[in-house]
Amino acid sequence: MAGPVRASEEGLIARYFAPLAGPGADGLRDDAAILTPAPGHDLVLTADAVVAGIHYFPDDPPASIARKALGVNLSDIAAKGAVPRGFLLTLALPDDWTEDWLAGFSAGLGEAAAEAGCPLLGGDTVRSGGAALIGVSMMGEVPSGAIVRRNTARIGDRICVTGTIGDAALGLRLRLEPEAAWAAGLDPALRAMLADRYLHPRPRLAAAEAVRRHATAAMDVSDGLAGDLAKMLGAGRSASIDVAAVPLSEATRRARAAEPGLIDAVLTGGDDYEILCTVTPERLDAFRAELAEAGIALAAIGAVTAGDDPPRFAMADGAARVFGAGAFSHF
C-alpha cells in the first residue's frame, strides 16, 4: 500500500494548482484554507464529482473536463440563488496520467474559475486505481436565510426553465452516432452547438439573483427535466407540463422534426444545466423581465398541481406522458 514517492504531489500542486489559489488558500502551502461569508450571509455548500467514462469521455480535452467539473457545481450554486466563493478539488488520477493532461486540465480549470469568480481553495490529489475522478466541493454565498430550496414549491406555482432543454442529450447522441438520420439536416454550426452543450455546461450564474428574489423553489437540471422535476416537487405535489412550451433550440427543433421520438431524449436526457424553478403566477412577469435583463430566456412550461402522481407531460397531439423510473441518472 505504502511506497516511495513516484511523483511529488507537492510539486504538482505548486506547478499546476498554486497559481489558481484564491485568498484564504495560502498558496496551497497548507492543508486547509479559510473562508468567511460576508456579514449577514450564509455559505452554501455543494459537491459533485465527474468520472471518466461515466460523466465524460476519457479523450475529451482536459480543459473541457475541468470546465465540466467546475460547471456542474457552479450550476448548483446558481440554482440556489447563490454567488460562488471558492472550491476544493479532489483529483484522482489514473496510473497513466501525463503532465500534458494535467497542464491542460489546470489551464481550463483556472480559466473557468476566473470567469466564475470562484478560486481554488484547496484539495487533494490521489491515484484513483482506475478511471480519473474529479470531485469538486463548492462554497457559495447568499444573504442569510435566502437560499432557494428544492422542495418548497406550492400548488398553483408556475414551473419555469431557463434557456433550452435537450441540447446536451442530443449532443451526446450525436457524438455516439455521428451518422444518425435525425442529424442529417443539421449544418455544422448546429451540430457544433449540440456537441458544445454536452461538453461545456453553461452554469446560469447570471440568473442567481433573480432566482433568489422570485423563485419559490429551484434546482438545476442535470439528470433530465422529467426526473429532476419529479425530485423538485417531492411528496404531495405533481405538475402538468405543456410539452409545446418546453424551450428548444433551433438544432433540437429540427432534430425533433426529423425524428419525433427524440422528444423523450429531450425531456429525460441529462446535462442541461439550466435552472428549473417555480414562481407564483403574480411574480412570473417580473421574474422573466429580470432574467431578460441578464440575457437569459425564461419559459413557463406548466404548473404545480396537488397529488403524488409523477408530473404529466401533455404532448402536442393531446396525449399525456409520464416519465417514471426511466429518468436519466448518472449513478
- Does the protein bind its own copies through residue 46 (CB under 8 A)? yes
Q: Is 46 annotated as a binding residue?
A: yes
Helix (H, G, I), strand (E, B) or coil at 234: coil
**Least Å from the CB of residue 120 to its own copies:** 11
Identified binder of its own copies from the candidate list 77, 83, 159, 301, rule CB under 8 A: 77
What span, in angstroms and rounded, lies between the C-alpha atoms of 310 and 16? 47
Identify which of residues 124 and 293 has a Cβ nearer to its own copies in the complex. 124
Closest by CA to 330, choosing from 224, 223, 172, 229, is 223
- The grid coordinates of residue 114 equal 476566473
Instruction: Build a one-symbol-per-residue string for 248-277: x at contacts with its own copies by CB under 8 A, - elsewhere.
Output: ---------------------xx-------
Q: Which is nearer to its own copies, 51 or 206 (CB)?
A: 51
55 binds its own copies (CB under 8 A): yes
Query: Is 130 known to sit in a ligand binding site?
Result: no
CA end-to-end span of the chain, whole Å? 28
Selected binder of its own copies within 98, 114, 144, 285 (CB under 8 A): 144
Q: Which residues contact 59 (CB under 8 A, 6 or more apart)?
A: none
Q: Are the beta carbons of 137 and 46 closer than 8 angstroms?
A: yes
Q: How far apart are CA 112 and CA 116, in angstroms?
A: 6
State which residue, 268 or 288, has the beta carbon closest to its own copies: 268
Number of residues lying near its own copies (CB under 8 A):
85
- Is residue 52 within the footprint of its own copies (CB under 8 A)? yes
Q: Name the minimum Å distance from CB 293 to its own copies.
A: 25
55 is in an annotated binding site: yes
Pick from 99, 115, 124, 285: which binds its own copies (CB under 8 A)? 124
- Residues numbered 86-105 forming contacts with its own copies, rule: CB under 8 A: 86, 88-90, 92
**Of 271, 295, 248, 114, nearest to 195 (Cα)?**
271
Nearest to 21 by CA among 30, 248, 290: 30
Contact between 328 and its own copies by CB under 8 A: the answer reads yes
CB 158 within 8 A of CB 133: no
With CA atoms as reference, report the closest residue to 218 among 209, 113, 67: 209
Torsion over CA: 214, 217, 221, 224 (sign): negative
- Of 61-69, 98-106, 136-144, 182-190, which part binds its own copies (CB under 8 A)? 136-144
Neighbours of 36 (CB within 10 A): 10
Answer yes or no whether residue 130 interacts with its own copies by CB under 8 A. Answer: yes
Ligand-binding site membership of 242 (annotated) = no
Distances (CA, A) of 253 to 25, 26, 47, 132: 46, 49, 33, 35
Q: Is 44 in the site for its own copies (CB under 8 A)?
A: yes
Closest approach of its own copies to the CB of residue 60, in Å: 11
What mask of x and - would describe binding to its own copies in positions 180 to 209, judged by CB under 8 A? ------------------------------
CA 223 to chain centre: 9
Shorter beta-carbon distance to its own copies: residue 67 or 80: 80
